[in-house]
Amino acid sequence: MSLLEVRNLNVSSGALSLVGDVNFEVDAGERVGLIGESGSGKSLTALAIMGLLGEGLSASGEVRFDNEDLLAASERRRCELRGSRIAMIFQEPMSALNPTRRIGDQVGETLRIHQNFSRRASEKAAIELLARVEFAEPERYARMYPHELSGGQRQRAMIASAISCDPEVILADEPTTALDVTVQRRVLDLLDRLVDEEGCALLLIAHDLAVVSEVCDRVVTMYGGHVVESGSVAQIIDEPHHPYTKALLATSRALSVTESASGADLPSIPGTVPSAGQFPRGCPFRDRCDRSVEACVEMPPTLTEDTRTLACWNPVERVERVSDGAR
Amino acid sequence: MSGASPTFDLRGVSKIYQTRGRHGPSVTALNDISFTVNEGDSTAIVGESGSGKSTLSRLLLALEAPTSGSVRYRDEVISGRDERQLRDLRRRVQIVFQVPMSSLDPRMKVHDLLAEPLRALKIEVDEGERVRELLQSVEMPTSAANRYAHQFSGGQRQRIAIARALGPSPEVLIADEPVSALDVSVRAQILNLLTGLVCDYHLTLVFISHDMAVVRHLCDSIVVLYRGNLVETGRTEELFASPREDYTKELLAAAPQIRAARVARTRKGREGEPRSA
């Protein structure tokens, strides 16, 4: 049994299905990367796991955490778990942090709520946490407000808050996307180190397969609100079976600092991700897919083989995979 | 290129902002910067927040004047000129911003967004015809003209912003982080589009970015800035093959890369150490 098991998760807005039949699990201490373009349903999946879906959105299916179904749990029970055993790091720290409260106050808040720390004790703990996320003068930064920090510092403060109660799993939604490249490197390395030290599990949401391949053990690819493929990082990088994963990988590979310009166009995926409700019937990727066949008008079943899953009628052939791997 | 004067020629350019009044503390946004942008080249200005790259773009657009030094466009000093003298430059040099949602007026239809610069610069063309042409050049359907920017995806909005910049048939396109807010796959589409446009319209491109991977793919030469100082400049392939300065090396090392196995990765001080279960 895994620490976090997502079973047939559906998220809908009225009659409109936004996330459909999502299945994956995260083992204790494991790091799973959830990838896909904007509009693939990654963030909604994370919010459903956290129980933070906005007004008008509803989730069904199961989200089992330590064998307890969170979707069936009371709001009171969810509050107990949120922040203490399951923590989340958001993409935009500026909108996730309260602009009117000092950093130390916000980083220590989780401890006051979940572990009954006094104000003084939580402030002391916040300073230690800020030191752990590499603030050189934690006392000084604890007294500052979010707007006085840089983007990278705010994200590190968010990480400090997330690890404060020693969670068993951290959900990180594009935690470095809005950051400069050297700052992104620092935050990724910090997250990597802390997750290691804490021994907690990580669900990292990213659109860049490169980021996921550096930090994670396993990859789950989402498109159109569905999981289309999953497997270990090595499996997915060496042999993507789903045309969508393969296309994402080709772009990430071509757009790399180690790849000089070939003069040819960069590989890209034709068209754009449709808005919710506009995906084609059957396989959601079929109208952008270069391997689509007649069968794709029906939704492909998800097949499981050892540690991999795949939902595709016409997966990437072995021959192509080998020739692609040679580059 | 021998004998031809560069498109942009910056000599000893500094920009110092006074904060809190005339005698308040000052911030040096750019410090003694000199470089040239050659006609037909794609030049990258690489730097992170606070490097001065956006200040530099405002100097190239003559929206601001340098505190000292000179900015020349085709041998003419553009810094400190009044708007009347700059009329021609306003047409020749166009810019595309990072976040199209804040640079495109949400109350204007795409037709008006694309026609506005033509009207402002009093360019006499058949508006409807020109708008259709512009939409086609950025591979958007002509029906887009009757819709609003918010009805499009991030990548499509950036195409609209590019079409708007192309309207006055500029010689130079300044692109300020045009793809950094986009997903990897959409990023590739927009970069392909830019590459095609630069070639088709013989544009000189000034591409502002912090992403070395994007820059390597798109640009012929690179100017690296760090905290207002010019760190290093060179032809793209030479600079990638042998970066001289530590900061350039750091930028290259920081970029995420596809790796098949996380454990094999070497981490500072913990080389080869397997992760405890």
To the nearest whole number, what is the mean pLDDT of chain B? 89
| Residue B109, C-beta contacts closer than 8 angstroms, at least 6 positions apart | B145, B146, B147, B148
| B21-68 per-position pLDDT tens digit | 777 788 999 999 999 999 999 999 999 888 999 899 999 999 999 999
Three-class SS state of B168 = coil
Buried b (16+ CB within 10 A) or exposed e, A41-53: bbbbbbbbbbbeb
Co-location of A113 and A235 in the same domain:
no
pLDDT of residue B3: 53
Residue A226 scores a pLDDT above 80? yes
User: How far apart, in Å, are the Cα atoms of A50 and each of A46, A54, A172?
Assistant: 6, 11, 11
- What confidence tier does B255 reach under pLDDT thresholds 50, 70, 90? very high
Co-location of A103 and A76 in the same domain:
no
Measured between CB atoms, does A278 come within 8 Å of chain B?
no
Residue A90 within any structural domain of the chain = no
Distance CA B93, CA B87 (A): 10
Mean pLDDT value across residues A189-214 = 94
pLDDT of residue B270: 37
User: Chain B residues with CB inside 8 Å of A150's CB?
Assistant: 49
Residue A92 within any structural domain of the chain = no
State which of A105, A131, A164 marks the end of a domain.
Answer: A164
Mean pLDDT value across residues A4-20 = 96
The shortest CB-CB distance from B261 to any of A215, A234, A255 is to A234
Best residue in B191, B258, B265, B271 for a mutation probing chain A (most A CBs within 10 Å): B258
State the smallest CA–CA distance between residue B40 and chain A in angstroms.
16
Which residues form the domain of A140? 97-164
Q: What percent of chain B shows pLDDT beyond 90?
A: 75
The structural domain count of chain B equals 1
User: Chain B residues with CB inside 8 Å of A197's CB?
Assistant: none
Residue B265 within any structural domain of the chain = no
Residue A202 within any structural domain of the chain = yes
User: How far apart, in Å, are the Cα atoms of A6 and each of A1, A42, A171, B227, B263?
Assistant: 12, 13, 13, 46, 26
pLDDT of residue B265: 41
Q: pTM of the predicted model, to two decimals? A: 0.90
Site of tokens 């599990």: A201
Co-location of A199 and A299 in the same domain:
yes
Co-location of A244 and A304 in the same domain:
yes
Residue B231 within any structural domain of the chain = yes
Residue ranges in A25-137 assigned as alpha helix (H):
42-50, 75-81, 93-96, 103-115, 119-132
Mean pLDDT value across residues A150-161 = 94
Co-location of A156 and A222 in the same domain:
no
Residue B242 within any structural domain of the chain = yes
Contact present, A109 and A161 (Cβ < 8 Å): yes
pLDDT of residue B261: 65
Burial of A147 (0-12, 13-18, 19+ CB in 10 A): exposed
Mean pLDDT value across residues A197-219 = 94
State which of A164, A192, A219 marks the end of a domain.
Answer: A164
Co-location of A79 and A148 in the same domain:
no
Co-location of A118 and A264 in the same domain:
no
User: How far apart, in Å, are the Cα atoms of A187 and each of A110, A271, B256, B263?
Assistant: 21, 32, 12, 19
Residue B268 scores a pLDDT above 70? no
Residue A105 scores a pLDDT above 90? yes
State the smallest CA–CA distance between residue B241 and chain A in angstroms.
10
pLDDT of residue A318: 63
| Residue B68, C-beta contacts closer than 8 angstroms, at least 6 positions apart | B12, B13, B14
Co-location of A57 and A205 in the same domain:
yes
pLDDT of residue A144: 96
Neighbours of A294 (CB within 10 A): 8
Burial of A144 (0-12, 13-18, 19+ CB in 10 A): middle
How many contacts (CB atoms, under 8 Å) link A and B? 138
Co-location of A106 and A17 in the same domain:
no
Q: Which tokens belong to B270?
A: 């913990």
Co-location of A222 and A318 in the same domain:
yes
ipTM at complex level:
0.87
Indicate the Cα dihedral angle A192, A198, A203, A204, nearest 10°: -20
User: How far apart, in Å, are the Cα atoms of A94 and each of A54, A100, A153, B4?
Assistant: 19, 11, 11, 48
State which of A110, A133, A164 marks the end of a domain.
Answer: A164
Nearest CA in chain B to A244: B185
The shortest CB-CB distance from A233 to any of B189, B255, B261 is to B261
Q: A58: domain CATH number? A: 3.40.50.300
| A80-96 per-position pLDDT tens digit | 999 999 999 998 888 88
Residue B164 within any structural domain of the chain = yes
- What confidence tier does B196 reach under pLDDT thresholds 50, 70, 90? very high
Residue A139 scores a pLDDT above 90? yes
The structural domain count of chain A equals 2
Three-class SS state of B120 = helix
pLDDT of residue A317: 78
Distance CA A219, CA A200 (A): 17
pLDDT of residue A37: 92
pLDDT of residue B85: 84
Contact present, A169 and A86 (Cβ < 8 Å): yes
Q: Which tokens belong to A227?
A: 């999981």
Backbone angles phi, psi at A22, to 5 degrees: -85, 130
Co-location of A54 and A201 in the same domain:
yes
Which residues form the domain of B93? 8-254
State the smallest CA–CA distance between residue A303 and chain B in angstroms.
23
pLDDT of residue A323: 53
Residue B92 scores a pLDDT above 80? yes
Q: B80: domain CATH number? A: 3.40.50.300
Indicate the Cα dihedral angle A232, A236, A240, A244, nearest 10°: 100
Co-location of A179 and A268 in the same domain:
yes
pLDDT of residue A178: 78
Residue B110 within any structural domain of the chain = yes
